Structure 1
């Protein structure tokens, strides 16, 4: 034990137990007092009244909607047609705006998010492309496309219910309608907008919608169309911000109002359509397709509604004329998207849930033959699994369908419909294969995007202001769903996976506005997701966390929460003060690095002077002898050679107990009260651990203790241990067992950035390194030019001529 744990005898503690006064008198300075500079940093100071907004009648202090909470209602009746040849949508929408706010409104703001494809848009003019050393092929193609094509809304015409034109102003990606008269509380205003919208080729221009055509020599030439942000939509007017009129720059997604939609979609007659809502004219399907759709509601496995053979026939048919109109209705949704293609295979299965309104949800997938066999096997089942898991963690799914559509958009979400990209790889011989990463990528992106139907499509957070509220919360639940799909699923969410980002320089706090985030994926997705995972598993525990998280979802379903509503709800429901946690993980760029600096085994110094002297002598004898004295051995000293120079002090040493010390000890023992005499019999081991917070982010200290009998235990020290000193603390543990070693964060559950300082005594870290490669060779033009030489040809020319 002496080799691993340092034992210190605290003479001061023994002195106190033997009768020292309970407190000492402070020395009073007689000169001028100089203020010292403090280093105290209160990581536990409260947000209330400092950083968080004051509760109101609309949002109360518990994190719940207030008794006067309100939000606007916006209903849409839309007719849209797809011109496949021109890759263009033409639409007319009638919008009914209900003002439920306490304010009179003189104008309305609408979102024109597709305006970011204007050549002179704010998004294009402020777009960055990375470093100055390379130019990618994709960037060249994008620049070329913008020379010949321009996106955005065209032919805008706005009229009131009386048919008269309404004046409007377009400001980049926003449109303002000046109302004929102010709109009071409880009043509605209806108007109509006509528009055309050229769709971008997504694989060239990028974005969240557009088209993809299969035009390579072995492909069929048909296209998939994904329509999103495709019609002018009302911007939000809220109690905490008024009009949400931040321009769309490409990153911050779409904050919208709830409403009811009736949408008619006219497409080529051989197209299949997937859309937000429920199909209102199912007779557009064949009798066989309707029968399969009915059968799929109770099927154990996905059922083809449109079979691969039917889709192949539509792709191969030369007769392509006429149109059909698909009609969909959706209640209480905040957006509408659709997909259309003759390439679509369609499969579906019913998912049972505890809901009177929707006891069965139709999980459905739409995909081209190029997505098989991946999509047949896993897409619809991943949709169904997502519903099962998210229903447990949040609210019961409130809509009739949940759809996954394959196309050029890698991953994007809308109410009841998602766009997802992964496909198998096609070889030069036409064969299809897929990697394990592609399989996991498909399952993961479907879980993530369908999960977005809950966050933010139902729990309607402000994505443009606080991206983490939908991406982070959803990524957290995605991690749970992936681990419930397969325990070995390569999910992102383990604390150890966030360490590299947490110690990087290019960081901003999680609470940063969307368009100013530096590392979007880590900041908006991974870090908040990891934080919530740690909050659930390590800090709150599953029972408290799950109850609070579900209460947040139930409180704010179909409403508009802010981060403060989430923070307050989690604290209110659990009974835990978590300001320190929000401050560290969401408001700072600190990281976790808790060092175990020292471990001290504390013992009471004995009151018997003889015993004290023996211990002191033993400590002295354990110290190394002077190197000079060792090397002088064999040389007789004066004290050894001449007895006349020796006296009393040569016969005793500093450890000799004197009569005075014996009398003082006896007097102290007699005077000691019963409590002190009992304390002197204490025999358990007292260990004191000193931790330093080197990363700045306060966290619980999870400490594994290894005992000499071979057993171990994990002690969880709450984060509040840092409340008086956030930089360095000493904590005490008592045990009858003997400690051998200790380790901080043994299960790697807090994201501790430096494991080298977690163990005491410090361990040697094993590491395998590769054999260093041979140094780089210089240029060899002869080799690179495929020349061949013989040994004779390498001789000097003069020698060759002899």
Structure 2
């Protein structure tokens, strides 16, 4: 055949291959990724700027639990500080109990299939009895309007910028729903009701430099965005009940019997789980024999929220948490006798301790004096210093839910991102760190099978990159219910693994990730602050990465297209051609094998895809190439692995 004919065939073949690729190098590597430059509030480097501000909300709450009607009556005093540069004519509060009304938006938007966020029974929501304001020594009753889960309070005069303070006092009541969207609720056990109480007081909405007032309604699937401050709260309940709550119990001697208080103090010093109230004592002695009512007093500082649990059915145990600074914290577990079994809740405190000690070493020190795990009707939900987990969980399931909910201490309790908009920044980041902690706990007792070792890996890739998938940058309440697991949890976790394993490497990733946590601890980062931090600390322009993973549902499909030799002689070296068939570029690792047994591993940067979808590189060889494999260690989430290997015929 003539040379000209061969060239024509090669050109046609090349054009045919080009037509099959969906990749656009100009789109993937387009400039101007960031929509705006940095400013005095948020630096272009990803740090809080020199004039970064956020408002503050401190709460003092007194509440009474009525077990006959399953109601809570309370009064909250909110000291609100306006650190913004704006004078505020009105305030917005979140009154989330209204989601459990029959006429709520949450009820109206629940799908016909129901699901985790559906409510089978309804309440009257947050019944506000009075609102009062005190400012500069003057008290008055303001106008206020409640719209679903938001309450607007108009001020008599604008709250001045840059430090103005105001005190709101609100008296209110609500009935505890039996199943509150898997966030809170009550469970009837053989020894009494277990109450898990959250979203239980009017909380200030966030006013920030991005949007002003953040007033998205609470619909169930989207979570929370809250201001930081100190919360002091008292819970008055029947004296035979144990109450656990966010933060430190200030009056254990008044709440427990002398012997139980002694055990409570001993648990703070014990490396092993110490029983404070065991199953045998329930209904017989100790706190069970107390009459009347007891007021339990709690305090948690520099927090965005607080929650609590109460029951006469609780077994209670605890142990010491050792923190890197030398400080100590207390791990507590409160659970009914029904939760005791093989690897059951009697191991919960051990798990809490292991989880928090790991994250404190690897990420940022646990900031609260107590960490409490409560067994009840809630499958899994997190609050500062306290989490609610299913009373049925055992073994690996108990470890998984305990570790996940306490992992949320870092995202979003410490790093206070907007959960109601960016679920991937808390659920996804948390799922990622859970993989690391599970590998470390008790020599990997409950280590998760990695994606790469999973026989169903191909199905996983096709699931998370499916055409019907929601992109990560989708508000949680907009995500299709069937997609939430992938969009909020699994895909962003795999994104961080890809960033750590492939794009940055462990050392640079870990340094940047820790810096992100440190920079934005107890502050409000946006996705852009995360992107900028990872790039500036990691030392890479990652616009191509964020475009594919966060802003689009791009896939990765890298293929080996062929091998040629210089002048047709293997000893002269091989020319290997790769192709990117889908929209997302990634760095490439190539394993090359020769017939003489020699093997070479070549690492190619992502920039090989900057000028098109095909790339040819040369490899020094002495004998024929027998096999070329892309991503031999399976670190890349490739859509079609059948084209990753070329074998000489």
TM over 0.5: yes
The residue that corresponds to 1:447 in the other structure is 403
**1:115 partnered with 2:98:** yes
The residue that corresponds to 1:293 in the other structure is 264
**Pair 1:299–1:142, CA change in 2 (3 A):** closer
* Residue aligned with 2:348, SS: helix
* Residue aligned with 2:415, SS: coil
Contact 1:459 1:559 in 2 (8 A): yes
Q: Out of 621, 634, 641, which is 1:748 matched to?
A: 634
The residue that corresponds to 2:364 in the other structure is 395
Of 293-302 and 546-555, deviating more is 293-302
* Residue aligned with 2:48, SS: coil
What pairs with 1:597-608 in structure 2 (closer than 5 Å)?
597-603=561-567
What pairs with 1:364-375 in structure 2 (closer than 5 Å)?
364-373=332-341, 374-375=343-344
**Pair 1:546–1:10, CA change in 2 (3 A):** farther
TM-superposed deviation, 1:737: 5.1
Contact 2:422 2:474 in 1 (8 A): yes
* Residue aligned with 1:704, SS: strand
**Pair 1:39–1:206, CA change in 2 (3 A):** closer
The residue that corresponds to 1:714 in the other structure is 601
Q: Distance in 1 between matches of 2:449 and 2:78?
A: 41
TM-superposed deviation, 1:314: 6.4
**Pair 1:53–1:87, CA change in 2 (3 A):** farther
* Residue aligned with 1:596, SS: strand
TM-superposed deviation, 1:316: 12
**1:462 partnered with 2:438:** no
**Pair 1:313–1:52, CA change in 2 (3 A):** farther
The residue that corresponds to 1:700 in the other structure is 587
Q: Distance in 1 between matches of 2:241 and 2:98?
A: 28
Q: Distance in 2 between matches of 1:43 and 1:392?
A: 40
**Pair 1:250–1:717, CA change in 2 (3 A):** same
**Whose strand proportion is higher, 1 or 2?**
2
Of 380-389 and 54-63, deviating more is 380-389
The residue that corresponds to 1:66 in the other structure is 49
**1:534 partnered with 2:498:** yes
Q: Out of 199, 207, 212, which is 2:187 matched to?
A: 212
Contact 1:91 1:195 in 2 (8 A): yes
Contact 2:38 2:44 in 1 (8 A): yes
TM-superposed deviation, 1:684: 4.6
Q: CA RMSD in A?
A: 2.7
* Residue aligned with 1:514, SS: coil
Q: Distance in 1 between matches of 2:55 and 2:220?
A: 25
**1:505 partnered with 2:505:** no
**1:160 partnered with 2:144:** no
For residues 564-600 of structure 1, give each alpha carbon's deviation from its aligned partner in whole angstroms, at most 9, with x where no partner exists: 1111111101211111111111111111221212122
TM-superposed deviation, 1:313: 2.7
Contact 2:24 2:583 in 1 (8 A): no
What pairs with 1:422-501 in structure 2 (closer than 5 Å)?
422-423=391-392, 438-485=394-441, 486-487=443-444, 489=446, 491=448, 494=451, 496=457, 498-501=460-463
TM-superposed deviation, 1:712: 2.8
Q: Distance in 2 between matches of 1:209 and 1:389?
A: 27
Contact 2:94 2:202 in 1 (8 A): yes
Of 706-715 and 447-456, deviating more is 706-715
* Residue aligned with 1:538, SS: helix
* Residue aligned with 1:391, SS: helix
**1:421 partnered with 2:368:** no
Contact 1:502 1:591 in 2 (8 A): no
**1:313 partnered with 2:284:** yes
TM-superposed deviation, 1:129: 2.1
Q: Distance in 1 between matches of 2:344 and 2:307?
A: 21
Q: Out of 280, 283, 301, which is 2:250 matched to?
A: 280
The residue that corresponds to 2:530 in the other structure is 566
Contact 2:256 2:287 in 1 (8 A): no
Contact 1:498 1:751 in 2 (8 A): no
**Pair 1:737–1:535, CA change in 2 (3 A):** farther
Contact 1:235 1:243 in 2 (8 A): yes
The residue that corresponds to 2:379 in the other structure is 410
Of 181-190 and 51-60, deviating more is 51-60
Could you say which structure has the larger radius of gyration? 1
TM-superposed deviation, 1:500: 2.7
Contact 2:257 2:286 in 1 (8 A): no
**Pair 1:512–1:315, CA change in 2 (3 A):** farther
For residues 55-91 of structure 1, give each alpha carbon's deviation from its aligned partner in whole angstroms, at most 9, with x where no partner exists: 1100000000000011011110100011111011100
* Residue aligned with 2:426, SS: helix
Q: Distance in 2 between matches of 1:447 and 1:465?
A: 24
* Residue aligned with 1:42, SS: helix
**1:517 partnered with 2:485:** no
TM-superposed deviation, 1:400: 1.0
**Pair 1:734–1:595, CA change in 2 (3 A):** same
Q: Distance in 2 between matches of 1:462 and 1:112?
A: 17
* Residue aligned with 1:177, SS: strand
What pairs with 1:342-353 in structure 2 (closer than 5 Å)?
342-353=312-323
**Pair 1:181–1:47, CA change in 2 (3 A):** farther
Contact 1:471 1:525 in 2 (8 A): yes
Q: Out of 553, 558, 561, which is 1:594 matched to?
A: 558
**Pair 1:46–1:313, CA change in 2 (3 A):** farther
What pairs with 1:569-584 in structure 2 (closer than 5 Å)?
569-584=533-548
Q: In the comparison of the two structures, how many residue pairs are matched?
A: 619
Q: Out of 94, 101, 113, which is 2:84 matched to?
A: 101
Q: Unaligned 5+ residue runs, structure 2?
A: 8-21
